[in-house]
Amino acid sequence: MPQRTIAVGSSVGLHARPASLLVAAAGKAVAGGAASSVTIAKDGAEPADARSILSVIALGAGHGDEVTLAAEGEQAETVLDELAAIVAAEEE
């Protein structure tokens, strides 16, 4: 399963808007058939479903923390590129 480890760029971490953007993109990727599953994990913990806002926020990933995204499917690399860009974005 392809994966990417990326630092969280948002000053508020993966909370509120950054988390909702990630969850929406992951959900769209799975619903559209680009990936069959997308997960996110922090500090080597069990991966969580990246389509679940509660799971993403529960990670407690703050600014600068590293998270690992993983995806399965024919377009997994493309999906990971898109999701990594969202996680790394430095928006407020």
DSSP 8-state code for residue 50: T
The reply to whether 15 belongs to the active site is yes
End-to-end CA distance of the chain: 31
Q: Give the Cα separation of 13 and 60 in Å (integer).
A: 8
Catalytic residue among 2, 3, 12, 15: 15
Q: Give the Cα separation of 53 and 16 in Å (integer).
A: 9
Element containing residue 84 per DSSP (H, E):
helix 76-88
Catalytic residues: 15
